Amino acid sequence: MGGGRWRRVASQIGRSVAVWAVSTLTMLVLAGILPDFRLQSPDGDSATDIAVTAAVGAGAFGLLSALVWPLLVRLLLLVPALVLGLLVFFLNGGLLLLAIDINPAGRGGVAPETAVVVAAVMSAVASATGGALAVRDDDAYRRRLYRLADRRRRSGPPCPGGPGTVFLQLDGVGHDVLLDAVDAGAMPTVARWLGRDGSSATHRLAPWRTDWSSQTGASQLGILHGSNHDVPAFRWFEKDSGEVVVCNRPTSAAQLQRRAIEHTGDGGLLTFDGASRGNLFSGGADEQALVLSIATRRRSKEHRSRSGYFAYFSDPANAVRTAMSFVAEVCREIGQSTRARVHKVRPRVSRGGLYPFVRAFATVVERDVVVAAVMGDMLAGRTAVYADLVAYDEVSHHSGPGSRDAAKVLQRLDRSLALIEKVAEHAPRKYRIVVLSDHGQSPGETFRARYGLTLGDLVRAGCGLPVPRRAQRTRSGAEARNTVRAALHRPVEEGAEQQRPADTPTGRRSEPIVLASGNLGLVSFPDVRHRMTREEIDARYPALLPTLANHPGIGFLLVRSQRHGGVVLGARGAEIPLDRLDEEPGPLAPFGPGAADAVRRTHSFPHTADIMVNSFHDPVDGEVLAFEEQIGSHGGLGGAQSRAFLLSPVVLSAPAEDGTEVVGAEHVHRVLRRWLRESNGPQVPVEDPRPETGRGGPFPVPDPVVQDKSA
């Protein structure tokens, strides 16, 4: 054994002894503070006996945490992640009770509820002590990080020689929001990458424009699988199956992924030595954790959607730290929402119920586990990693995209980027870190808050169906009734009843299905098997389209037309055929360039709704009106929601080599493909035998013979 090996062993022993000593001292202090925790027999013991009891107890607790805890977590992999995050307190307390009971001196005792507190404090102190001692030793720090991926690295193939690529998706962070955060000093890591601190820039920032459906389902499906064809919104009704498809529902995500693979004949962006972490879709990766599209197959060991939690929660210190941060985040949300109510902040939506726990899971548990999984992938030398961090998107929905709450989340995300960058220095291969977003968010109050009725209420009024009394009493409800009567050429009489639609010859008509995706609304008539035309809708519900098109909260409608193929409808009788939108944008004018192409593309989808409704948009302040209860929304056209970003190393080619704008998630997929080729050589098709793709076919993987060895 060489001198360097001996020094490392001695250093490790020294750190272990130091952590043991600090844990012993912590146990002594807690025994003096907590009435239900003692380290001596009822008859009393000497100070030496008490110290020995504490030392033995601390040592036993440390050994049990190292040996037993990983087995417990593995047994609990099927427990929902949120429950597991809370359960760690009690499991850790159980280990402490066992450590006290096996003490050979037979001294000491602790109440079960106190054991939970003592174990949590000791785990946190031990983790902090070990981390502080290891920071000064690069070799020790590297070994500490390597333990995150040791199991995968031993069982995996040899690490390729070219640079790897990590794609980090900051969910919902718009291009301008990112720049504002950099200018405000909230994201120093990104500022350094862009050279805003006076250093040379290592990354370039470019915007990209989303599809009409500006939401994670459509964007991530297009980015990872190269096609988001026939994804008109976040949720929509499919007449052929009679089902509502929702992008974040596991069965729907699996179905959409299969459709994309069939459409492209391609397994996805990550088919060669890839890892997918925290995403809706797999991207064809072999390594998948927290991936929604495989959640329905969690009985299979190879496809457990929550298997990534093991790597993180197998360390009890990580589990305790995350659980404590979870509780702190719940308290932070309660305090922030209370402050917003007290100060009567507008716009504002309800943030009660389970939302504080949902927010804490997204901003703490999901972030910590995904970042740890990415670190493990890098230390295992994986070629391509794609991970989604959803924290900002969740908070800005309820607090607003420009709020102080959301800005604090960006600060913490920047620290995650810095940590991943640090890990890259210790990885077995060089890594290029690409940061991108799937969409932005547009501010504005909700449609219901402004007008006192929902989009569903307005549709029912236009169809002559009864609406809730709450909606009838509002000014907007009265205007809707008057619009209906005017469209039906009836006198405007406040006491008149709304017209009820006649029954069909085969029975009573089904009521319309109204769904919302941010500020995009979809109206479908389930009793008609095909997509209805404007003429058919007018014949059945003469007042519906005028009621919607003339409402001040509606920007425009898209409907199919027998005469023109497709038309955009707006206020005051505006009716523009799709093939004339470039010369005469009409209602689309406030939505900026690219709106016409986005609308025409969605019109071509087989499952586009009978009526597509986009809310009003104010181009001056960027506001939209969400049809959901969100004050930061996305899903349609209007404002910052359609302006996402790509932050890429300058060593890679520019996103749009010809200087044009990157438009659509499918275009982003082609850009990321190009960057992977630049790092790992040309792509060649190979046959993919995996049964979960549902088909064999050509799936691109890099040619291992030709590789770019540059950094």
DSSP string, 511-531: PPEEEEETTEEEEE-TTSSSP
Percent of the chain with pLDDT over 90: 50
Q: What is the pLDDT of residue 138?
A: 41
Q: How confident is the model at residue 120 (pLDDT cuts 50, 70, 90)?
A: low
Q: Does 475 have pLDDT greater than 80?
A: no
User: Looking at domain 162-230+265-440+640-702, which CATH architecture does it have?
Assistant: 3-Layer(aba) Sandwich (3.40)
Write the pLDDT tens digit of every residue in 311-351: 676 666 666 677 778 888 888 988 888 888 887 888 888 88
Computed over its alpha carbons, how large is the radius of gyration of the chain? 29
Q: What is the pLDDT of residue 162?
A: 85
Q: Does 108 have pLDDT greater than 70?
A: no
CA atoms within 13 A on the CB side of 77: 23
Q: How many CB atoms lie within 10 A of CB 527?
A: 13
Write the pLDDT tens digit of every residue in 516-550: 999 999 999 999 999 999 999 999 999 999 999 99
The tokens for 99 are 């450590």
Q: Which of 104-118, 275-289, 637-651 has the lowest mean pLDDT?
A: 104-118
Q: What is the pLDDT of residue 509?
A: 72
Q: By C-alpha distance, which of 451, 636, 618 is closest to 551?
A: 451
Q: Does 28 have pLDDT greater than 90?
A: no
Backbone region of residue 91 per phi and psi (left: phi > 0; alpha: psi in -120 to 50; beta: other values):
alpha
Residue 290 and residue 305: Cα distance in Å, rounded?
A: 5
Q: Which of 31-35, 593-597, 651-655 has the lowest mean pLDDT?
A: 31-35
Write the pLDDT tens digit of every residue in 186-226: 999 999 999 998 899 999 999 999 999 999 999 999 999 99
Residue 635 and residue 211: Cα distance in Å, rounded?
A: 9
- CA-angle at 232, arms to 690 and 213, nearest 5°: 100
Q: How confident is the model at residue 696 (pLDDT cuts 50, 70, 90)?
A: very low
Q: Does 693 have pLDDT greater than 50?
A: no
Percent of the chain with pLDDT over 70: 65
Is residue 385 within 8 Å of 377, Cβ to Cβ? yes
CATH 3.40.720 intervals, the chain? 162-230+265-440+640-702
Please, what is the average pLDDT of the chain? 79
Q: What is the pLDDT of residue 261?
A: 96
Region 375-398: what's the mean pLDDT? 93
Q: What is the pLDDT of residue 39?
A: 66
Task: Give this prediction's pTM.
Answer: 0.77
Q: What is the pLDDT of residue 341?
A: 85
